[in-house]
Amino acid sequence: MSDATIPSKSIELRVLRYRPASDREPVLVSYRVAYSDDMSVLQALQSIKDTQDGSLSFRWSCRMAVCGSCGMMINGEPKLACNTFVRDLAPDAVIIEPLQNFPIERDLVVTVGDFVKKIESIYPYIIPKVAKPVEDGAHLQTPAQMAAYESFSDCINCMLCYAACPQFGANPDFIGPGAMALLQRYNGDSRDGGRQFRLDQIHGEDGVWACTAVGICSEVCPKQVDPANAVNQNKTNSALDFFLHYVQPRSQP
Amino acid sequence: MSERRPFHRPQPRHWWAHKPYLAYTVRELSGVAVAVYGAILLAGLICLWRGPEAYAVYRRILSSDAAFAVHLVLLAAMLWHVLTWFQILPKTMPKLILRGRPVPQRQVTAIALLVAMVCSAALLVVVVAIGVTS
């Protein structure tokens, strides 16, 4: 074992805890954790759960910034606990809270139901432009056509962008940056023909127009998806669609 | 029996006054400065329409030290507005793909800023030229 992996220093973690059966409201609870240089905040929380308080609840799965489960507020910033290192936060005490703008279920676990509904509402799958039987081969795409949507397909649904968005904080019905990134992933795909169905979901004040281009969603994104770009380029699309619907006939999904 | 009792934490009231949102707040406020400057120009037009006396009063007010100070502040806000406007520009347009690769957003901002500066300089040259020849 190298020196870097032997816990030699300790740090205070102040975790916002909420146990619905006993707590009237969330309270900060302090824990001291021994850490090594390669320890993530997620590992620090796991160490608390293993050795100090087994009732501490938080979501996690992959431990490598792929699954998007361990998003939380770390010193007020939305971050993935698995790719935030304790060594970068030491020696000061670290405040860990559940993601801002979401109802708290328990401790660091937030309610994700509304977010999943938003994802479902924008037809998150390719609706082929032209029907093509399997025996006719694959739908081909050039590298340039792929580059037009590729970054938007990197979203891991971690919801950090929602926690950073003050407009989502003010209006929980706002479709939000993450769902819009997914929408643009499909609307920007040359093989897709479902653009109109998706645009119909994002008009109005709960759609793209709730966004005021604050832009912090893109800054906190751990995958450089740039959801602010997805939302704001669709304001133009939404406005164009509003005027075009007077002159173009529409089909129903 | 379910023990679910989701707790709704309110959004911090003064979120706009703190980092990282403060830059956004200042950017939006610089838009107010642009509107104020527009109103000053409009007031000049109205005075011009009302006659030589009204326009002379307008020019006298503009030549005061206070008006000069206000214009300096408005100029600074306007320049900030221009810069931040073009910083957002690449967020509001589809990805530019050149030779199969997306053009970096900083490059889009830099080119747009350059075009804005060239246009402003050209306008200044035209205004000065008209002033000199008339």
* pLDDT computed for residue A251 by the predictor: 56
Q: How many CB atoms lie within 10 A of CB A1?
A: 6
- The Cα–Cα gap between B5 and A27 comes to 15
Tokens of A30: 């302090």
pLDDT of residue A15: 98
Q: What is the mean pLDDT of the segment spanning B91-108?
A: 91
Q: Which of A103, A215, A228 sits opposite B7 (nearest CB)?
A: A103
Q: What is the mean pLDDT of residues A87-102?
A: 96
Mean pLDDT of A125-142: 91
For residue A42, which of A3, A91, A94 has the smallest C-alpha distance?
A94
Domain with CATH 3.10.20.30 in chain A: 3-110
- Average pLDDT value for residue range A43-55: 97
Q: Which of A21, A219, A236 sits opposite B92 (nearest CB)?
A: A236
Any CB–CB contact under 8 A between A226 and chain B?
yes
In this predicted structure, which of A218-227, B67-76, B97-106 has the lowest mean pLDDT? B97-106
Distance from CA of A144 to the nearest CA of B (A): 4
- For residues A206 and A174, the answer to whether their CB atoms sit within 8 Å is yes
A235 contacts B21? CB cut-off 8 A: no
CATH 3.40.50.2000 fits A3-110, yes or no: no
pLDDT digits (tens, 9 = 90+) for A1-21: 456 677 779 999 999 999 999
Spatial CA neighbour of A212 closest among A147, A162, A150, A166: A166
pLDDT at A151 over 60: yes
Dist. CA A248–CA A140, nearest whole Å: 29
Q: Which of B16, B91, B101 is closest, CB to CB, to A228?
A: B91
In chain B, residues with a C-beta closer than 8 Å to the C-beta of A215 are: 24, 88, 91
Decide if B100 and A143 are in contact by the 8 Å CB cutoff.
Answer: yes
Looking at domain A113-244, which CATH architecture does it have?
Orthogonal Bundle (1.10)
Percent residues over pLDDT 90 in chain B = 90
Contact state of A147 with B8 under an 8 Å Cβ cutoff? no
Evaluate whether A167 touches B116 at the Cβ level (below 8 Å): no
To test the contact with chain B by mutation, choose from A107, A108, A232, A237 the residue with the greatest count of B C-beta atoms within 10 A, namely A232
Instruction: Dig out the tokens for A17 from the structure.
Output: 């805890």
Chain A hits for B11, CB-CB cut-off 8 Å, are 100-101, 166, 169-170
Separation of alpha carbons A77 and B74, rounded Å: 33
pLDDT 10s digits, A53-84? 999 999 999 999 999 999 999 999 999 999 99
The residues, any chain, with a CB within 8 Å of residue B110's CB and separated by 6 or more, are none
Cβ contact, residue pair B97, A147, below 8 Å:
yes
- Give me the domains of chain B, ranges plus CATH numbers: 15-94 (1.20.1300.10)
Residues of chain A with CATH 1.10.1060.10: 113-244
Q: Is A93 exposed, middle or buried (0-12, 13-18, 19+ CB in 10 A)?
A: middle
